[in-house]
Amino acid sequence: MKTTLRSLWNQVFEPLVVVLLVFASTTAIAQPFYVPTGSMQPTLAIGDALIGSKFPYGYSRWSLPLGLGPKSEERLFGRLPAYGDVVVFRLPRDEQMTYVKRVVGLPGDRIQMVKGELVINGRKAPLLWQGTARIEDHNGRYSEVNLYRETLPGGVTHVIAKHVWDGWLDDTPVFTVPEGHIFVMGDNRDNSLDSRAGPGMGGVGFVPVANLMARAEFTIGSYDFLNADGPASWPGLIRWERFFRGI
């Protein structure tokens, strides 16, 4: 009898416990995500893999694998993100897609771009030039770009990439963030379709708090897949310096 029970445990219950533990951890604690685009450069590179923590903003249907929970605008243990948080969320116009951007506006905030500079509630977010860096485009080509340290309300700072100051999203009307929503932008300011562009323009628009999945915490690896050219090139495309970097 003991042998039969042990065999049953090994064949059925042990794998089931492992599955349940994995399900619980990816639902309640953390989840890996992959970055396929360059809209968050220099913070996140194309090909980065990151870990997002699930608990900072509470839980919604999108905290569960495949969004299996009931649809609701309320979050269990819900909290708003902070300025500067890098968040993973489901795209409002197509909830099958997962995006990652930085929070620059909270409910009630007035957000505007004026000549390429971010204005929050009538005040420009200070910019300090940080030099230049090479960043990658969607074709795998690298180019030199200016970097600036931007300061958000509360003194939170992060680095953005800026190519030009007269791009099509560099001058916008004033956006007033609705209740229950946030305003997000990519750090690669001239190559990010974010809250500055509405769904009709292929952008993100305002993001419902209910669509938040996780807060990006650190990268666990990175691979320059756009420049892969046969097996001989693969080892050299691993970005070892991007392993286990805080976001």
Indicate whether this model's pTM tops 0.75. Answer: yes
Q: What's the pLDDT score for residue 18?
A: 36
| 193, 93 Cβ separation under 8 angstroms | no
In our burial notation (b when 16+ CB lie closer than 10 A, e otherwise), range 140-177 reads eeeeebebbebbbbeeeebbbbbeeeeeebbeeeebeb
From residue 126, how far is each of 77, 97, 106, 152 by CA, in Å?
33, 32, 18, 8
From residue 105, how far is each of 29, 42, 180 by CA, in Å?
25, 20, 12
From residue 30, how far is each of 45, 76, 129, 216 by CA, in Å?
20, 16, 34, 10
Residues with active-site annotation = 39, 101
Longest CA pairwise span in the chain (Å) = 77
What are the residues whose beta carbons fall under 8 Å from the beta carbon of 77, sequence distance 6 or more?
A: 55, 58, 59
The DSSP secondary-structure symbol of 238 reads: B
Distance, CA of 147 to CA of 160 (rounded, Å) = 6
Where do the structural domains in the chain lie, given as residue ranges? Answer: 31-242
Q: What's the pLDDT score for residue 74?
A: 73
**CATH number for domain 31-242, candidates 3.40.50.300, 3.40.50.1100, 3.40.50.2300, 2.10.109.10:** 2.10.109.10
Distance, CA of 214 to CA of 51 (rounded, Å) = 9
**pLDDT by position in tens, the chain (length 247):** 556 655 544 554 444 333 333 444 455 688 999 999 999 999 999 999 999 999 999 998 887 765 566 676 778 778 999 999 999 999 999 999 999 999 999 999 999 999 999 999 999 999 999 999 999 999 999 999 999 999 999 999 999 999 999 999 999 999 999 999 999 999 999 999 999 999 999 999 999 999 999 999 999 999 999 998 888 888 999 999 999 999 9
What are the residues whose beta carbons fall under 8 Å from the beta carbon of 92, sequence distance 6 or more?
A: 199, 204, 205, 206, 207, 208, 211
The DSSP secondary-structure symbol of 9 reads: I
Q: What's the pLDDT score for residue 75?
A: 81
What does 98-143 look like in DSSP terms, one character per residue?
A: EEEEEEEE-TT-EEEEETTEEEETTEEPPEEEEEEEEEE-TTS-EE
